[in-house]
Chains A and B, each alone.
Chain A
Amino acid sequence: MDFRDTPSEAAFRDEVRGWFSEHLVGDFAALGGRGGPADEEGWDVRIEWERLLGADRWVGMSWPAEYGGRALDYAQQVIFNEEYARANAPGRISFFGEGLFAPTLIQFGTDEQKRRFLPKIQSVEELWCQGFSEPNAGSDLANVQTRAVLDGDEWVINGQKVWTTLAHRADWCFVVTRTDPESKSHHGLSYLLVPMHQPGIEVRPLRQMTGSAEFNEVFFTDARTARENVLGPVGEGWKVAMATLGFERGTAFLSQQLGFQRELTDLIEVAQKNGATADPVVRDKLAGHYAGVQIMKYNGMRMLTNLLHTGVLGPESSIGKLYWTNWHRSLGETAMDVLGTDALLVEHEGDGDYHLDDLHQTFMASRAETIYAGSSEIQRNIIGERVLGLPREPR
């Protein structure tokens, strides 16, 4: 047990720091850590920044060298992400493409598919969105009803997806569709790759409680994609989709602890300035959040060690998602306590717009986190059944 960097980890950390001090300048440095995988703040600057990362292969850093990656191991990826957060670099954009789709593609794709799609993800020329949820397929994802049928050399897709983050920015969508019309539940599904810019696709924004609209509804009306754009075997899309969800719940979370730590530090600063730290209840809550975010780090390090030793993330990764979403939600509630009456207004100057400051953003946006990527209730089912071995609900 030793929490210090090994000599090779320290050398890699130096390399990363050097890269940031050379490149994180000008507009990029000015934007700081603003913007996230699900919002559009500072979009143009962030796209440019992301392309700079991609040009030096920091996008796709975990991919095998033959597909343009750096083949970094998990420990190195975490170091990169730690330094990223420490440098306060702009919020990443390519979460859905690089974080979710690419690892799934590397696991299930043909060599041809990998050569077609990975380079454009790395160069940030093509953005992706995730077509999983439907109006009647939320927690019960296997109830997908969007259909796809072969018409010659093309799939023809009809149906509707919802909660599709940044669909209006995306060039491609990975879509879970029902390709066997007689099938039910998780049988007969296929994982199709569909170009977004075509007449058969209509994207309608959904305004959220935060006032902005990063979520969308996506309507497919005789939308088309080439026959070869199916990832994994036809009819086995469920297995592929589960792998994507595994990436969503697992490794992606390992590195976000530093960002949360920064949010807490900012909140403590606000509390010290407005005098809220004189209140013993607020002190108790802030210290509790501090304990919570540190333990999030320790949990992450334990999970990472396990991953490095065994090579796989177990269902234990559900603990991580349940943990951080609860922590963040509760931080948002404390933020309102700290603000007191200032919490009553989202904008002091009053131009009539509903623009959220960072604390209101945390307070509200965190309500989505315990719902998306498998709600907290689904996470508890997974922990109960797959980690603790409790019997399944009769269905």
Chain B
Amino acid sequence: MNFAFSEEQEELRRTVRQFLESKSPSGEVRRLMDTTEGYDPAVWKQMGQELGLQGLHIPEEYGGQGYTFIELGIVLEEMGRVLLCAPYFASVVLAGNAILNAGTDAQKQALLPGIASGDTIAALAFTEPSGKWGADGITLTAKESGGAWTIDGEKMFVIDGHNADLLVVVARTQGTSGTDGISFFTVRGDAEGVTRTPLSTMDQTRKQSRVEFSGVAAEPLGTPGEGWPALSKTLDQAAVALSNEMVGGAQFVLDQSVEYAKVRVQFGRPIGSFQAIKHKCADMLLEVESGKSAAYYAAWAAAEDNDELPVVASLAKAYISEAYFHATAENIQIHGGIGFTWEHDAHLYFKRAKSSEIFLGDATYHRELLAQRIGI
């Protein structure tokens, strides 16, 4: 048993942290969150060409570096720490894993090298206006005629949908329900019949779009109708990845709270000397550390691709969603009035936390999933 990162992994963390501290300071986050695209193409290019981050966990045979979910988790944790504005989660985590899980070898050969280098930005279009995260939320239909497929319907909350060169779309074949008939397709982002509308997101640091499909010619990814296992796995992996990203943000706001509690003086003493504040910080530490344990363990299970993955994915997403939100809320409270201003970054983390909590299913949703998965 060994629950520690290797020296190489720690080195990766240091490198990524240094890069992100220089490329994604608060001022940059605020500049980018006011743009429609919401990311800096030059930084994105550097991430791919200089650090190879987009291809980190993609196997070497598909143009990646062949590392694991543990390294991916480290990178995401660092990105969450600085609220990096980039289509990384959409392209690498959601679309990249969907292709890895659903695609044929030839499709992986064709699609993944572009994602791995960062030259292609991909997005996964699966949630619909109903906002359901399970199989029954998929109603966008796929029809086959003479060996050619067309898709019709509407997708919502598509992260970086309007930035994507490549859309991975989850649809269902006609006349199916539940987990039957779930199918993956790929479509160029600017294909005919695709209408993309950027949305006003509560968390401005992560962009979303509505994507409408009207008689769009689509290429099946894997075998149509048999996509559920790949989608379910993609969502579990995404929950693990998001959990790792969230603990990065949670640690950041804890540090911010503790730092402030040491220097802010009221009644002639630093407010951190009052138990009311000290105990809040202690509870935050307990939750952040526990969240890290869960996130790292889940990343290991994803790296091993073992049977534990569905259980630990839901367990981690449920616990960390609440821990992160709690930490960001306490951070505002500890900062007092200054924490409520637009100028202070506390609200950016608060909004990212709530948005991440809801995305991929909130804590209640994942506890029910967990109950089913452990046989309750």
- Interface, chain A (partner B; CB < 8 A): 1-6, 9, 75, 268, 271-272, 277, 280, 283-284, 286-288, 290-292, 294-295, 298-299, 301-302, 304-306, 309, 316, 319, 322-323, 377, 379-381, 383-385, 387-394
The answer to whether A388 touches B367 (Cβ under 8 A) is no
Q: Which 4 pairs show the lowest CB-CB distances between chains A and B?
A: A384-B278, A298-B293, A390-B272, A383-B282
The answer to whether A2 touches B1 (Cβ under 8 A) is yes
The answer to whether A3 touches B289 (Cβ under 8 A) is no
The answer to whether B282 touches A1 (Cβ under 8 A) is no
The answer to whether A390 touches B278 (Cβ under 8 A) is yes
The answer to whether A9 touches B273 (Cβ under 8 A) is no
When distances are taken between beta carbons in the complex, the residues of chain B under 8 Å from A5 are 1
The answer to whether B1 touches A290 (Cβ under 8 A) is no
A376 → chain B closest CB, angstroms = 9
The reply to whether the CB of B43 lies closer than 8 angstroms to some CB of chain A is no
When distances are taken between beta carbons in the complex, the residues of chain B under 8 Å from A385 are 278
- Interface, chain B (partner A; CB < 8 A): 1-6, 9, 70, 258, 261-262, 269-270, 272-275, 277-279, 281-283, 285-286, 289-290, 292-294, 296-297, 300, 312, 315, 318-319, 364, 367-368, 370-371, 374, 376
When distances are taken between beta carbons in the complex, the residues of chain B under 8 Å from A305 are 1-4
A356 and B315 alpha carbons, distance in the complex (Å): 32
Greatest chain A CB density within 10 A among B293, B312, B318 is at B293
A264 and B98 alpha carbons, distance in the complex (Å): 35
The answer to whether A291 touches B258 (Cβ under 8 A) is no
Q: A1-B70, A383-B285 are in contact. Are A287 and B262 (CB under 8 A)?
A: no
Interface of B: prevailing SS? helix
When distances are taken between beta carbons in the complex, the residues of chain B under 8 Å from A4 are 1
When distances are taken between beta carbons in the complex, the residues of chain B under 8 Å from A9 are 1
When distances are taken between beta carbons in the complex, the residues of chain A under 8 Å from B270 are 390-391
When distances are taken between beta carbons in the complex, the residues of chain B under 8 Å from A393 are 273-275
The answer to whether B367 touches A283 (Cβ under 8 A) is yes
Interface pairs (25), CB distance under 8 Å: A1-B2, A1-B3, A2-B300, A277-B371, A284-B364, A287-B371, A290-B370, A294-B315, A295-B293, A295-B319, A302-B296, A304-B1, A305-B4, A322-B286, A323-B290, A377-B275, A381-B278, A381-B282, A384-B275, A388-B285, A389-B262, A390-B272, A390-B277, A390-B281, A394-B273
When distances are taken between beta carbons in the complex, the residues of chain A under 8 Å from B269 are 391, 394
Q: A1-B3, A3-B1, A294-B312 are in contact. Are A287 and B374 (CB under 8 A)?
A: yes
The answer to whether B293 touches A302 (Cβ under 8 A) is yes
The answer to whether B368 touches A1 (Cβ under 8 A) is no
B274 → chain A closest CB, angstroms = 8
The answer to whether B1 touches A388 (Cβ under 8 A) is no
Greatest chain A CB density within 10 A among B3, B5, B312, B364 is at B3
B268, closest chain A residue (CB): A394
Known: A290-B374, A305-B2, A391-B269. 9 other contacts (CB 8 A): A3-B3, A286-B376, A287-B371, A294-B312, A298-B296, A322-B286, A380-B282, A384-B275, A384-B278
A383 and B254 alpha carbons, distance in the complex (Å): 13
B134 → chain A closest CB, angstroms = 16
A294 and B370 alpha carbons, distance in the complex (Å): 12
The answer to whether B371 touches A309 (Cβ under 8 A) is no
Q: A294-B315, A392-B273 are in contact. Are A302 and B371 (CB under 8 A)?
A: no
When distances are taken between beta carbons in the complex, the residues of chain B under 8 Å from A301 are 1, 3, 293, 297
A151 and B266 alpha carbons, distance in the complex (Å): 53
A299, closest chain B residue (CB): B293
A298 and B308 alpha carbons, distance in the complex (Å): 14
- The residue that B3 contacts in the complex, of A286, A302, A387, with Cβ under 8 A, is A302
A141 and B286 alpha carbons, distance in the complex (Å): 25
When distances are taken between beta carbons in the complex, the residues of chain B under 8 Å from A280 are 368
When distances are taken between beta carbons in the complex, the residues of chain A under 8 Å from B272 are 384, 390-391
- The residue that B371 contacts in the complex, of A286, A322, A387, with Cβ under 8 A, is A286
When distances are taken between beta carbons in the complex, the residues of chain A under 8 Å from B368 are 280, 283-284, 287
A301 and B289 alpha carbons, distance in the complex (Å): 12
B290 → chain A closest CB, angstroms = 5
Q: A284-B368, A290-B315, A301-B3 are in contact. Are A388 and B258 (CB under 8 A)?
A: yes
Q: A284-B368, A305-B1, A322-B286 are in contact. Are A381 and B319 (CB under 8 A)?
A: no
A230 and B93 alpha carbons, distance in the complex (Å): 62
A394 and B292 alpha carbons, distance in the complex (Å): 33
The answer to whether A309 touches B4 (Cβ under 8 A) is yes
B270 → chain A closest CB, angstroms = 5
When distances are taken between beta carbons in the complex, the residues of chain A under 8 Å from B4 are 1, 305-306, 309
When distances are taken between beta carbons in the complex, the residues of chain B under 8 Å from A322 are 282, 286
